[in-house]
Structure 1
Amino acid sequence: MASHDERAALLVARIAGSLNQRLVTLTADITDVLYSEIPDLRADRQLFDLLGASVEGNLDTIFHTLQHNIAPENLEAPAAAMEYARRLAQQGVPVNALVRAYRLGQTNLLELVFDELGGEAVEPELGVPVLERIITVMSVYIDRVSQQVVEVYERERERWLAHQSSVRAVRVQEILAGNEHPDAGASAALNYVLHQNHLAAIIWVTDTGSGDMLARIESAAHDFSGFMGAATDPLFVAADRVTGWVWVPLGTRSAPRRGYGELREFLEARHPGLVMAVGGVTNGPEGFRQSYTRAQRARALAIAAGKNAPVVTAYDDPGVSTVALLIEDLAATRTWVRSVLRGLAVDNENAARLRETVQVYLASNLSNVAASKKLDLHYNSVKYRVKRAAEERGEDFTGDRLAVELALLVCQWLGPVVLTPDQAKGEPTVKGGGGR
């Protein structure tokens, strides 16, 4: 006479065999449930047949495992299930949709098992062991196989994105270099409309030892795009592991939704550790290039300014485009600034205070009263500081006012990079780059 365990195993095999005879019908039913209950799986109707093949392969494996008492720990996911995971990764379907499909499939299969078991004349002492065996096999199998398909999904997603990113980067480089006519084909290849208004920006990490930050940078790029009023998804290209380029599609909008002051606050609050250079709004394919070029110039200025630069350097901000041109020959600019400002170009607090006062005084059309209101000082204090500044410089500011204003603007941006080291502190090593 068969033992209790043998009788339970025979009943499990009979139930699995009965279900396997209805494999085609059960596959269709569960496939329909997954397709209707998980919206992300409906992104591409062409994948419906592959979803069915994946369901069939998993059901067939589970039924045979139960029929022949195979250890589920040794099973591998069916080939169709692996391929379906790869295709979902290529389509950008979220991985949680794939995981949910396995859990929902397991729930529906359990209901079928209960129905099948209810139609059997089961001895009372066999009911629990039979259910335990079936549930254990299904749970172990689903857990093991879902982990396998998720790993396949993630590898394929990484590979696919790297491929797509490299192809996109090549096309963008060709357009920026003027080697490709930016027609409708180029827009389709980039999934980005070139005949519209653009706002280009460069986002990077100042700490080059922080590792691969591209995921953070890309997230910030999408966040920034939405904040500035993008009409559709932005175009993002990885320049290297710590730098990304982004074009915000503004459609017919002639200006971003928010100003650069708001953007600075937004970036500091949402993405600390990242800095940005923005190229301004331009139009059409040529504008696509132009905004990027301006962003590159703003970035060069931010890097030269180091810690003196704000978290967002905007090409459209007053003085940025001018100073960005002057840093192309930083040594010559440094010499020129010191020759124009002379004693005012010393890197110490007293000279900095005098430079600020003169800068506001000149911007106030040489009015001590107007400057005093902006600086929140008594007008006699402004008058005294302007006099002291002229003495430090060796002449007043009326003869070459434009040169003085420009030199002060350069000092405001570049600080120690162009200033004369304070001899009282010792001469520090000044570099033209680094920092932001």
Structure 2
Amino acid sequence: MEALEPAHSVAAGKGIAAYFLANVSSLADDMLRYLIERVPEVGGDAELRGLTLGSCSSNLEAVLSMVRHGIDVAAAEAPVTALEHARAMASRGHSVDVMLRFYRLGHEFFTEKLSELLTESVDDPAVALRTFIDLERYGFRYIDRISSLVAAEYVAELDRRQNRARVERADVVRALLAGERVDLPRAERVLGHRLTGRQVGFVCWADDRGVDLEGYARQVGRFLGAGHALVVADGPLAVWGWASITGEVRTSLTGMATELAGESENLHIAVGSPHSGAAGFRTSHLEAVRTRRVIELSGRPAPSITQFNDVALVDAISRDLDAARAFVAAQLGALAQDDAKERGERAALLAVLDAQGSLATAARVLGIHRNTVLQRVRRAEERRGRPATVKTAELHAALLVSDVLGASVLRES
């Protein structure tokens, strides 16, 4: 087959473009109806319909004018209405795929109209075919370029909105934690979190970035009994979380510890106590933060899950760490040394005090013989320099603090 003379198809293409330009308003109306029938997301939104019509009209006028005047498709820029249409789609939560369907379907609509007009207005089939191919190629390249530009604007708008939402959420959390008065309905709407029930705050953190902290935080929220947990990042290696509880609050997280132990070897979780309302949001969070401090002072290995109630006394005594060391030294004497023998004797004495003096119970807890417990208690009393019956409450507290914090409050061996 002989090559066609390109001049004929170029002239025909410019003529087609001129015809469509003269009727661009009705063509845009027809395209809008075509799109509405096939993209149901547009149907009930008057503003979006208006922007869709504006995008149809401005894109048709742009591409037809470029063809009419022989302008390279590489010079095409997305019309203002097309960019605004992309922003509107992002603001309404429609996916980028739904937005790009407008362009794919719009191209389909234009292809049908082009085919009809060429059939009616170009007598030479060869010229008609060449013109169709040229205009289709140009149209495809235009759509490819413009759809990339509007998709980029869609993503940018989504990022802007998400950033604004994050900033607004962070501001509400900051106000709540500062104890400021807040508009509760607005705060709940911004956070997507109920503030009228009992609040349980918790902190999840890790030593490296390879842990899905937000995922674990949501698991903690579900385990506590909340269908949805509010999770806020605290830097790259920690998140804060809150669960709003309506039913019974779990008093033990043993099951959660067992469940997570096999999933991550690098995860710590600190959980506050349940407290009511917006004030409880702050109080429980502060308890979780103080629990985290105790865990970090203790140097306990991951994974660990600790509730504030289990370390509240240790937290209170160790607020001033130097004072805590002095307290432990004064109550334990030579028993306050960080060595294996003293560690075993302290454990035995603490177990007996926990068991209200029962050697048998202490032996079961420690997994050793009753006589071994008795021997260790006597040696502990000797190191202390006085019997366990002297200042028993202070002794019990010092043993508990040294058991939890270890080297942080004990003398080096």
Q: 1:291 to 1:134 in 2, by over 3 A?
A: farther
Who is 1:357 aligned against?
Answer: 348
Deviations 1:298-350 (A, max 9, x none): 2332333344575433223x2x1111112211110011112222333222333
CA distance in 2, matches of 1:59, 1:16: 10
The structural deviation recorded for 1:417 is 0.8
Greater mean alpha carbon deviation, residues 332-341 or residues 79-88 = 79-88
- Structure 1 residue matching 2:272: 3-state secondary structure: strand
Who is 2:291 aligned against?
Answer: 298
Count residues in correspondence: 404
8 A Cα contact 2:338 2:410, kept in partner: yes
8 A Cα contact 1:198 1:288, kept in partner: yes
Who is 2:100 aligned against?
Answer: 102
Question: Equivalent residues in 2 for 1:395-434 (5 A)?
Answer: 395-422=386-413
- Structure 1 residue matching 2:319: 3-state secondary structure: helix
8 A Cα contact 2:218 2:229, kept in partner: yes
CA distance in 1, matches of 2:105, 2:259: 44
CA distance in 2, matches of 1:85, 1:4: 41
Q: Confirm whether residue 288 of structure 1 aligns to residue 286 of structure 2.
A: no
The structural deviation recorded for 1:178 is 3.3
Question: Equivalent residues in 2 for 1:46-65 (5 A)?
Answer: 46-65=47-66
Who is 2:241 aligned against?
Answer: 246
Deviations 1:29-60 (A, max 9, x none): 21442334xxxx78977544334433444444
Question: Equivalent residues in 2 for 1:69-218 (5 A)?
Answer: 69-91=70-92, 93=93, 97-103=95-101, 105-107=103-105, 109-110=107-108, 112-114=110-112, 116-117=114-115, 120-121=118-119, 125=126, 130=131, 132-180=133-181, 182-188=183-189, 190-206=191-207
What letter is aligned with 1:253?
Answer: G
What letter is aligned with 2:138?
Answer: V
8 A Cα contact 1:182 1:194, kept in partner: no
What letter is aligned with 1:147?
Answer: S
Deviations 1:396-434 (A, max 9, x none): 433333333322221232121111111xxxxxxxxxxxx
CA distance in 1, matches of 2:43, 2:341: 68
Deviations 1:243-283 (A, max 9, x none): 54332233x22425x95234445566667755433222222
The structural deviation recorded for 1:184 is 3.6
8 A Cα contact 2:234 2:240, kept in partner: yes
CA-based RMSD: 3.8
Larger radius of gyration: 2
8 A Cα contact 2:118 2:132, kept in partner: no
Equivalent of residue 330 in structure 2, options 336, 339, 344: 339
Greater mean alpha carbon deviation, residues 327-336 or residues 238-247 = 238-247
Who is 1:372 aligned against?
Answer: 363
Q: Which runs of 5+ in 2 are unaligned?
A: none
The structural deviation recorded for 1:191 is 4.6
CA distance in 2, matches of 1:240, 1:156: 24
Who is 1:230 aligned against?
Answer: 226
Deviations 1:66-100 (A, max 9, x none): 55444333322222232233344445x26xx1234
- Structure 2 residue matching 1:280: 3-state secondary structure: coil
What letter is aligned with 2:28?
Answer: L
8 A Cα contact 1:169 1:238, kept in partner: no
Q: 1:181 to 1:102 in 2, by over 3 A?
A: closer
8 A Cα contact 2:381 2:388, kept in partner: yes
Q: Confirm whether residue 312 of structure 1 aligns to residue 284 of structure 2.
A: no
Q: 1:49 to 1:278 in 2, by over 3 A?
A: farther
CA distance in 2, matches of 1:418, 1:43: 68
What letter is aligned with 1:290?
Answer: T
8 A Cα contact 1:54 1:84, kept in partner: yes
The structural deviation recorded for 1:104 is 5.8
CA distance in 1, matches of 2:370, 2:140: 82
Between the aligned residues of both structures, percent identity stands at 26
Q: 1:55 to 1:359 in 2, by over 3 A?
A: farther
CA distance in 1, matches of 2:180, 2:57: 50
Deviations 1:83-124 (A, max 9, x none): 233344445x26xx1234314631552365146426644766
The structural deviation recorded for 1:16 is 5.4
The structural deviation recorded for 1:19 is 5.9
Who is 1:26 aligned against?
Answer: 31
CA distance in 1, matches of 2:398, 2:43: 62
Q: 1:407 to 1:52 in 2, by over 3 A?
A: farther
Q: 1:222 to 1:3 in 2, by over 3 A?
A: same
8 A Cα contact 2:31 2:56, kept in partner: no
